[in-house]
Chains A and B, each alone.
Chain A
């Protein structure tokens, strides 16, 4: 934690915030700490709109502290670096994802798993040890400890690359952890939204066979023709689902609402793994018999540590993987949130902050 946030001068910042559970965003003035020795000050160019932003705005999870400025898929340019900062200099293209702090000393932090640190500080809707509040990327600038800043590769587009900072790492990390980077293995991707569409691209780059599982049959053409999935399974078609029983090594489940797990578990081979990434506000139903009779497992995953996030960005740069986005102005954000709630986006909104956020 940089010293400058202990009672020193704060600097002005400007963004859009929600002030109550209606989740409606509007212009908001706030402050951030001055740039400390370990810090990088970033002028924000783009910020992706993650479904978690929507969950937080409306206090769906019950722990939102208003006013809340969301945004944790941040891409920008470093404007200032503290004297201890070695990895970045002013002018560098940088990114910030889901977290901006951790204890740095526990086992998780020491193993590059800062995202599992029990004292994790999220990019927004969180508080620092000194009591100050954190605001996210729907704003003009942010100050972040260098450890939690990513180097944004030159050949990745700034706007379409922004969603990688959350959606990208959130699907990349479990593919590695749950052993799905071996070419030829069969991965199912349930849900074709912000996470799902990036999962298809990354999985194909790993050489996996990919089947998209979706409740929207109309997404088949783009799943196969645009995203490169090998096949498409309409989850509402019992015959198709039956024919795919026991065919997948792993399923990455990106669906954010409560949904039945039994059909997905059936699609797995023996020893298959269902990775659940969505965070509904109610528990899921877990049928135990399929787990026992097929030695299957359901596991979670939470974005990724800083080292792995950088690795993911570099991997995406190498394979020319970016998100499919709809660029919006900041003043279109409320409409975008309504559309996001209806899953009406292909496949991520990204706010053109620099060109549309003005006081």
Chain B
């Protein structure tokens, strides 16, 4: 069904896949391509569970190809490199994020924005050049073009580094692009999950003052004491909202559920920027007056290019930024997905692939 000819994909592999829209994952045998001259083959050690994985296994976006092996926060150790590979050697600690291919020649690709290339190939659930479907990091081994592999510095523990490959770059890139990375600026982070908790850490490391904006007062202690936020705003508290009007230079909004933008726009100073990262099912209401009267903007962002992803990893290593994870065994993955649906995780599940993904006979 998926063109799994042995000539194209000679190497046996195994992982866990969803086979239908129930999204239930189970052991699955497949094959990877041989290591081409520009490819890096690696043993997967850890893989983060991204909320996108949950959407994809259930076909929420209508684009899923089954069997689907998710996982685009992948870290591991190089086992083989192709003859033309320059950046990596056997034994190196590497990572792969949300994409494994792009056209390499369009304006976006030549400007290190491969993530916006119209022919960008997702790490899983996408058609690759050889006609096969890509399989992600909930598996024992991957073969990826060198260009789409990043190196993980020694001082970053692999399990805590895995979520950086998607969540990390997804918040790092807009902080830079929208100029919310200057010391002294006041940045808000809406939503304290996989993305949000990393946004707090990166923004603090960039020298900004950070306020977590959340509907749950119970997260305040965590935000201030564990994550290092400077303050906490309960968005359902009208008095708190009113007191904070016009005090933010920027707000990074990681919430994917439907929610009102008007209060967030009100929190911005004039010329402030609201960055939206979550993709709600339906359009959001955008009141024109606050945008116009304060020359404010609402902008989006999606992961990041390869150059910036490596830069983000190096920045994280330099500043000791790690994701807060709950490491789980492979066979816990379905329970983890149920908990993720309820937001019951602080703040990213990471599958211990190396130690718990058993080969399938």
What's the dominant secondary structure at chain B's contact region? mixed
**Given A270-B113, A288-B278, A299-B297, CB of A279 within 8 Å of CB of B289:** yes
Q: Which of B288-324 contact A (CB under 8 A)?
A: 288-302
* Contact in complex: B284, A296 (CB < 8 Å): no
Flag whether A84 is at the interface (Cβ < 8 A): no
Give chain B interface residues in 324-348, CB to chain A under 8 Å. Answer: none
Given contacts A286-B261, A300-B291, A301-B292, contact A293 B285 (CB under 8 A): no
Q: Are B283 and A285 in touch, CB under 8 angstroms? A: yes
In the bound complex, do residue B294 and residue A116 qualify as a contact, i.e. CB atoms below 8 Å apart? yes
Q: B282 CB to closest chain A CB, in angstroms?
A: 9
- Size of the B side of the interface (Cβ < 8 Å), in residues, is 36
Check B300 against A291 for contact (C-beta < 8 Å): yes
Residues in chain B near residue A271, CB distance under 8 A = 116
* A118 adjacent to chain B (CB < 8 Å): yes
Contact flag A292-B302 (CB < 8 Å), given A276-B292, A297-B297, A300-B292: yes
**Which residues of A lie under 8 Å from residue B131 when comparing CB positions?**
none
Contact B293 A300 (CB under 8 A): yes
Please determine whether A293 and B302 come into contact, CB atoms closer than 8 angstroms: yes
A137 to B27, CA, bound (A): 76
Encoded as 1 (CB less than 8 Å from any B CB) or 0, chain A from 249 to 261 comes to 0000000000001
A295 in contact with B295 (CB, 8 Å): no
CA of A277 to CA of B293, assembled, Å: 10
Helix, strand, loop or mixed for chain A's interface?
Answer: mixed
A295 & B300 in contact (Cβ 8 Å cutoff): yes
Please report the total number of A residues contacting B with Cβ < 8 Å: 35
Q: Which of B79-87, B206-214, B269-277 contacts A (4 or more CB under 8 A)?
A: B269-277
Taken together as a complex, chains A and B put the C-alpha atoms of A246 and B246 apart, in Å, by 34
Does A294 sit at the interface, judged by CB under 8 A? yes
* Assembled-state Cα–Cα distance A10/B292 (Å): 34
Picked from A270, A288, A293, A302, the residue with its CB within 8 Å of the CB of B295 is: A302
- B295-A116 in contact (CB<8A): yes
Q: Within 8 Å of chain A (Cβ to Cβ): is B356? A: no
Q: Which B residues are CB-close (under 8 A) to A280?
A: 288
* B residues in contact with A298, CB < 8 Å: 286, 291, 297-299
Within 8 A of A (CB), among B116-147: 116, 118
**Interface residue ranges of B235-279 to A (CB < 8 Å):** 246, 261-262, 270-271, 276-279
- Contact across chains for A276 and B288 when beta carbons are under 8 A apart: yes
Does the CB pair A301–B283 fall under 8 Å?
A: no
- B296 partner residues in chain A, CB cutoff 8 A: 299-300
Q: Is B108 an interface residue (CB 8 A)?
A: yes
Of all A-B residue pairs in the complex, the 3 with the closest CB atoms, nearest first, are A291-B300, A300-B291, A297-B299
Pick 29 A–B contacts, CB within 8 A, sort by A: A113-B270, A177-B295, A262-B283, A271-B116, A276-B288, A283-B285, A283-B287, A283-B288, A284-B286, A285-B283, A286-B283, A286-B284, A286-B298, A288-B278, A288-B283, A289-B279, A291-B299, A292-B276, A292-B279, A293-B302, A295-B113, A295-B300, A297-B299, A298-B286, A298-B291, A299-B297, A299-B299, A300-B291, A302-B294
